[in-house]
Structure 1
């Protein structure tokens, strides 16, 4: 069938050659969309229709070798929906009744005087356009159902009062452990599977959605007696031009893994907060007391042992600051925004005692990040290069061709066996390091959803490659 363009092919069957010619001329003159092909017998007409590429049939009733009704019945066996207009010479009620029973689309009485080309052309284009629209809608519906059938999320559509289920895909049964047939029979029966402590909250969400407000809700579901999962549902009310709610559409997805991660993160942060409080209370005061007494002693005595003790106190203060920073930052990041990588690195340089170390920006790019946390990571990478190299060190920062950036130095490098452990809490390759600087770097990178790898620079120094970072430009 012609459905990809505006043209319409009409098959006209009539045993009168003169009428055929006149009607062809008249129809094609009325509309440049119409192309009319003709046959003089029902048998030839059926063969021509079977060849395809016919959008509408126009047929006389009384013809030798078979009536238009018989022709109509044969066509309906092939295609129940193709527009078929009976163009009869008389208004015989019996013929009209037979045609309707056989599935005729329209019945037009041929008038002896005056052309009916305009009427027929209008009817043909109307019926063909309607059928094409229905076919497109049907194909779209089939594709959407195919797509819904393979979706991991449950896709659904309810009436405004939740009393009728209009659509649900197969994912519902996987998420709720409930056959979709049960839900069609009782649209609110999914609530029977919701955890008792969450039912009221889900009902309140449903009521707000019925009032016209988009909603989202997280809740637990008993898939079976021993299996409980976390689900998240989003609902959007669909309204007409007057604002009346026509239906409620939405989706439901499994968020069990996400909830477990959130719970683990909350537990970890709680432990870190407790640890930070303990450190601040139990360690900082003794350090301050020791530092104060050492200061008084050094005013009275010039002794190398006192100097060593003072350096140890400073070292303890550094360790304490890094521990508190690690506990304070956690695995979360704040609001992200597009920032220039070079600007973040230069800002980090301002907070680091670079001494004789140098920083070079090879190239830069705009990235989406939490600039405060990224600056913190850059500060620790710069300090790491300085603290782990006795000689003057040069640090270079640049972007990676496949997305991301690197920070490298020309120092002594990190042995291959120690490149993975250096990112762990408390691990340091020198006595100068606290062992927490690179752990903080790893934490910041992971919180952004990026990855970090430790390798060697071309000069043999340490190289940190951060990947999975979309570059907005550069």
Structure 2
């Protein structure tokens, strides 16, 4: 052919596509390409005498490729005017409609090979074209082979559907080659979990010629179960015959996602019903393993003492793989700590390529870090590279959010239980401890009014009022100091102890302080602890006690001890109970307040015996 003998009109709303097509086709001098980026303009200006062939996209604004063909065909000057669909993504429905409409060709866009195929197709349909019926058969075969979904041609008769032909996608997805598949019964080859009901019903529907669109589950040649959306397409041939196409669109990932989401909803109910943090963590790990399918996982919670994310719950697979499960700290850069600090999900396709990997020699290859708010992270890992996809991120985020909510609920319920316990204690104090001096004051006041030794009775009324005043002050302190510590500062115990000692009526007592310990604490509440312990020693250790404050031998905290009579061993478990006192003038709240403040800081306090036989209080902080 002479240069530019084949005149092609290319219609596509994407200018980059038309520009590339023109360049690729016109590299061969026999082509001359006119580009149009508007199908409506094409309709208004089309002249069939000016072109030998039309190439068109399918998905375009306002008018799709088949509608463009239908409307242009009214202007064609010959019945076999070539019209080729050149589309982004194949579709069995487009293919069927194209066959019915009489479109000459159907190709998918792609790389250089597809432009070469387009050029070859244009040459074929513009020179020595076969009769329309042959062209339709050729187009049908081309469409069938290029469909991206597994597709079969079926012979449907006598209640059975037998395979007449399969495309490449069918062989690839189901694992059966054409030789095995052709002639086989669909229900025999593609086994269904409910073979006797659903599969038979589907075959009956096909036999009756009805349109079908069903979600089905089928087994591949290697035994894998996959989910598909099955649709049939009936195509009437120009010769009066018909073909039945069966198209299987793989929806396994979508169905797996839906099943996982349903199971996570069930897990959420169990998580929100958990009565302890340990139960929440165990249930969360089991869900990550059993539902998300990742058995190497752990939950790391932030621990202020450790200064990092401590492995709090781990699966057996994690423990078997890793000899030492690390704590992730702010000082030691790590993928997990960075995700925790940002509060964002982090997916690392290959941890060995990440500059923040804690251990470059780790047997793990990929991981996903899901923050649990300020509490910590859920860490899912794999020995495979790039093991986590978008579905894992989505489902993992749902699980992490539920774990976080469940931990919050457990904390709220535990706080409510503590509050109720405190309310019960408060009610007991009001009903008993305050009632007794109040009743005494009332009796003595009545006797004084009656004129019986007025001065003595009024003194007892005053003493009762003093006791009630001390009780009220102690109750208020006890109520305030039971809350968790939020704000802290660095406190020198030596300085604090010395200041408290100066504020007390110490008399002939002496104090020895050997500690240089510093702690992060609520200074005012810690001051009450020291004051109460020192005051307890001054009250119970005799007229001129010796009080010592120093470091514990193992360096875990400090002690406060005296040389008084001490506390009997069988009484030591009770000294921190509210109302417990060995003094007739005491309220029984001093050591209860000490214990409460120590617990609010997350510390521990124990009673022991000093070297001199007196009381010794050991605080581990």
Q: Please state which band the TM-score falls in when normalised by the shorter chain.
A: 0.3 to 0.5
Considering only CA atoms, is the larger Rg found in Structure 1 or Structure 2?
A: 2
What TM-score comes out, normalization by structure 1 length?
Answer: 0.44
What TM-score comes out, normalization by structure 2 length?
Answer: 0.35
Higher relative contact order (CA 8 A, sep 6+): 1
